Amino acid sequence: MSGPTIDPSLYRPRDIVKIRRALVSVSDKTQLIELATALVAAGVEIVSTGSTGVAIAGAGIRVTQVADVTGYPESLDGRVRTLHPAIHSGLLADLRLESHEQELAVQGIEPFELVVSNLYPFVETIAAGVTGDAAIEQIDIGGPAMVRASAKNHANVAVVTSPVSYPIIYKALKLGGTTLAQRRRLATEAFQHTAAYDTAVADWFVGNPWSDAEAEGPHRDAPATFDLHANLSTTLRYGENSHQAAALYTRQGGRGIAQSIQLGGKEMSYNNYVDADAALRAAYDFSEPAVAIIKHANPCGIAVADTIELAHQRAHACDPVSAYGGVIAANGTITLAAAQSIKPIFTEVVIAPAYEPAALALLQTKKDLRILQLPADFARETSEFKQLSGGVLIQDADAHFAPFDSWTLVTGSPADAATRADLEFAWRACRAVKSNAILLANDGASVGVGMGQVNRVDSCNLAVNRAGERAVGSVAASDAFFPFADGAEILIAAGVRAIVQPGGSIRDQLVIDACAAAGVTMYLTGERHFFH
């Protein structure tokens, strides 16, 4: 089906459009009364609906109800309000065309020159845990129809979808009307607004992101389409390198590092954001107080403890040389004691869910230290995507850890309570390390990390060398199986007392035999944690 075609010669030129009549219907009522006051002062008739009209009238401002324009009352519990020819003809009439102007006159319909509308808070509703019919009722129908109609007809109508853009209207009221360039810009924002809204609704229906919400496991069907909509938050100085342009965009409803508040320090860089997100990923793998120190997206140290202060000290002790200029993430409040532990060390970024006032004041004395506070409703992403040439890869976030009770003891003595705790810690911490990954741990802290090598033997050597004498009596975790016994033999020779790994190699028995000969305990988890 094709749309109508009009002879281009029939269009009359139009740039400045004086605002005489405005349709106002908003969910976000920020600065609503200020806007309505300015419109009425400029002689603009305001037509409104529901709670918006009540709020405007309640402030003593003249307002015409939509029902008075349509001659039809709001119905079906408010589902039908503006879906009427008396409204949409006024939105879609292209007054550059004499025929449209004449048709409105015959029908007795007045055009609108301004629409102010933002949509039902669907994203906020589902973020609060609302489901089922209650969530369905927050799917806006009339709002998107008004916004899209006005944006299509931007030659004649200015459409505003955010209070951020109200200053454009204030300026237009003083100067005699909106310009075509302004209306085109506002129309662009309007289509972006409705696109993001529709994407959020669609993602909710398909299970965000998978299409069969009732299916489980890695083999369930993926959705036929994947839409990503994000708004420009800030332009960064540069990307990974100084010759690369970069910017930060935020997704509607996002509750992660992109929505964090900066409380001090220099502006964030591209690399700062990447490392800070990796640090959060590591710290929030644990429920007990945890700190992760990240450099170039890899851990310099990860630790859990009774306090954030102690967790930081033990994480830093893993590799103090690499931690210089690193990024620190904590999964709990930064106390004054924790801030005193962090302050002497050159650090690029500290990120946490909260700061004690004294701790924040102390850290703010370091003028270059970037201090980020997570949004109050911070939540881990449930899915991850990665751009590649010509497309996008998407997967579930790696948030599953096989419980200890499901592990298989293949050699050595069963782990005592302390060894079990260290093995469980190492298995979780290892997931934050780039593959091939080997992590040595003792008493709830990493003591040596081997990361990002193209063979597991090099990763084992790197972890052992960084641990030094601390390797003796430690436990080790490997993110994937040992293809040969040589990697495990390096760990055994360094004094590792127990090893946890996925298993699954055709040479598993050789690895098991090497551990058995040395009296080293080994568990197989049956799952791996590659991180590329």
CATH number for 196: 3.40.50.1380
Residues 196 and 302 in one domain: no
Q: Is residue 211 included in any domain, yes or no?
A: no
Residues 199 and 303 in one domain: no
> Distance between CA 164 and CA 495 in Å, rounded?
61
Partner residues linked to 313 by β-bridges: none
Would you tell me how many other CB atoms lie within 10 Å of the CB of residue 278?
A: 23
For residue 296, indicate whether it is catalytic. yes
pLDDT recorded at residue 506: 95
The segments of the chain whose pLDDT lies below 70 read 1-4, 6-13, 71-72, 75, 77-78, 127, 206-221, 223-225, 227
Encoded tokens for 512: 């098991």
Q: Is residue 391 included in any domain, yes or no?
A: no
| Domain extent for 288 | 260-373
Q: Which of 351, 373, 395 is the last residue of a domain?
A: 373
Q: Please tell me the total count of domains within the chain.
A: 3
pLDDT recorded at residue 196: 80
Domain CATH number, residue 474: 3.40.140.20
Residues 50 and 188 in one domain: yes
Tokens 């190699």 locate to: 505
Residues 190 and 87 in one domain: yes
Residues 419 and 357 in one domain: no
Reduce the DSSP state of residue 290 to 3 states and report it.
strand
Residues 81 and 148 in one domain: yes
Residues 361 and 411 in one domain: no
> Distance between CA 456 and CA 421 in Å, rounded?
24
Q: Is residue 4 included in any domain, yes or no?
A: no
Residues 282 and 354 in one domain: yes
Q: Is residue 398 included in any domain, yes or no?
A: no
State pLDDT tens for residues 501-522.
999 999 999 999 999 999 999 9
pLDDT recorded at residue 210: 53
Q: Provide the sign of the torsion angle of the four alpha carbons 28, 30, 35, 37, taken in this order.
A: positive
Q: Is residue 23 included in any domain, yes or no?
A: yes
Give whole-number Cα distances, 530 to 440, 501, 509, in Å.
Answer: 17, 12, 22
Q: Is residue 1 included in any domain, yes or no?
A: no
Q: What is the DSSP string of 52-115?
A: HHHHHHHTT---EEHHHHHS---BTTTTBSS-SHHHHHHHH--TTSHHHHHHHHHHT----SEE
State pLDDT tens for residues 167-197.
999 999 988 888 888 889 999 988 888 888 7
Residues 317 and 457 in one domain: no
Residues 154 and 200 in one domain: yes
Residues 485 and 413 in one domain: yes
pLDDT recorded at residue 473: 96
Residues 44 and 151 in one domain: yes
pLDDT recorded at residue 211: 45
Q: Which of 183, 205, 227 is the last residue of a domain?
A: 205
> Distance between CA 289 and CA 294 in Å, rounded?
17
Catalytic residue among 29, 229, 266, 296: 296
DSSP 511: H
Q: Is residue 240 included in any domain, yes or no?
A: no
Catalytic residue among 18, 29, 84, 152: 152
Q: Is residue 232 included in any domain, yes or no?
A: no
> Distance between CA 128 and CA 242 in Å, rounded?
40
pTM to 2 decimal places? 0.73
For residue 174, indicate whether it is catalytic. no
Reduce the DSSP state of residue 392 to 3 states and report it.
strand
Give whole-number Cα distances, 270 to 54, 323, 330, in Å.
Answer: 46, 19, 20
> Distance between CA 22 and CA 47 in Å, rounded?
6
Q: Which of 187, 205, 223 is the last residue of a domain?
A: 205
